[in-house]
Structure 1
């Protein structure tokens, strides 16, 4: 696949590096990088990853809206502020704002629940279980592309619903980051195995 990445920071490096190792053609771009954002967006004929600070993501995507028309746009941003607060509480999710800024793109929320070091793990398997990656999106073809990219990392894609549920993923990230970083807690311990969840 040809993948463009908007941003050149840690998430761009971690995910982009793994996708390169899986055989994909990846180009990352930034405002002050040798490769620009527009060039990266143009390269991503199969998928474009938004790996920017969430405050900048909507503006950048809006500027590139025409270049992103029809593209699979993967949002891994987290609107988390001081004291691990969800900065979009009470309003549209970050992913929904990105979708509104580029109405011709097919947005999928994914890869936002883990620190970049997790994405550098090859593969991200813990206690014998591959990491599950929740996806929120409304376009089945776009979701299919992102599922392949999840599997290329050695992870398992998990259907988390339509893009309207992306805010739940973002709120989950705020909660988990607060537990991991703020409390030093093993947040994985808060969820029982499926057999004990009442859903089995």
Structure 2
């Protein structure tokens, strides 16, 4: 698969290298072509580098690792994003004393409004940087979950495969509106990792258990929630 990395920071560099290791074609983009090329030279693995515009034109899938920046300020024209699958791995800034405000609209939803010609997929925002160093082995042994939300089912399935390729367990989290829930989970994670000093490996791992064969505790009352 042809993947364009928009932004040359930790997230973009890490995922780009991991996907290149799995045989994907990766193009690192940055604010300047020189910086993008420097990242590619560091990554090796046959990767290419250049400007964000060049990365967007190259990739069928784009990792948009530029937090809180309107795409109009990243690309010469957002028309370059037409028909692309756009992965949003971003979270809000951590407020002082971790006093988070309720998420009324997720970063992913805002991004989708800014680029309606692309298919935005929320993914990877709950994964601390340290965890990527374990991918794909021994990561696969630990069932680390990546929550994926999107309105476009085809784009979501593409990201599901990219998640599996590097050793994570994809969890279909419904439509893009649910990115609010996923970003809220990331806020809790960062509180535990930083404030509670639980370390960079405090990550979610969803396990699906079998139904209880008997109801020895009285059973669960029926609910009309669907």
Question: In which range does the TM-score fall when normalised by the shorter chain?
Answer: 0.7 to 0.9
When structure 1 is superposed on structure 2, of 180-189 and 66-75 the one drifting more is: 180-189
Aligned counterpart, 1:56: 69
Aligned counterpart, 1:140: 153
Seen in structure 2, the aligned counterparts of structure 1 residues 115 and 123 have a Cα distance that, compared at 3 Å, is: same
Aligned counterpart, 2:129: 116
Aligned counterpart, 1:107: 120
Cα shift at 1:120: 2.5
Cα shift at 1:152: 0.8
Cα shift at 1:57: 4.8
* 1:129 pairs with 2:142: yes
5+ residue gaps, structure 1, are none
* 1:180 pairs with 2:193: yes
Aligned ranges 1:28-107 → 2 under 5 Å: 28-34=28-34, 35-45=50-60, 47-52=61-66, 54-60=67-73, 64-83=77-96, 84-86=98-100, 89-107=102-120
Aligned counterpart, 2:25: 25
Cα shift at 1:172: 0.8
Aligned ranges 1:188-199 → 2 under 5 Å: 194-195=208-209
Aligned counterpart, 2:181: 168
Count of aligned positions:
195
Contact between 1:80 and 1:174, CA under 8 Å: does it hold in 2? no
When normalised by structure 1's length, the TM-score is 0.86
1:55-92 deviation per Cα after TM superposition (whole angstroms, max 9, x unaligned): 225544676421111100000011132234546x3532
RMSD: 2.8
Seen in structure 2, the aligned counterparts of structure 1 residues 121 and 110 have a Cα distance that, compared at 3 Å, is: same
Greater RCO between the two (CA within 8 Å, min separation 6)? 1
Larger Rg computed on CA atoms: 2
Report the Cα distance in structure 2 between the residues aligned to 1:153 and 1:128, rounded to whole angstroms: 12
Report the Cα distance in structure 2 between the residues aligned to 1:142 and 1:133, rounded to whole angstroms: 15
Report the Cα distance in structure 2 between the residues aligned to 1:158 and 1:190, rounded to whole angstroms: 11
Aligned counterpart, 1:149: 162
5+ residue gaps, structure 2, are 35-49, 212-219, 221-226
Q: Secondary structure at the match of 2:121?
A: strand
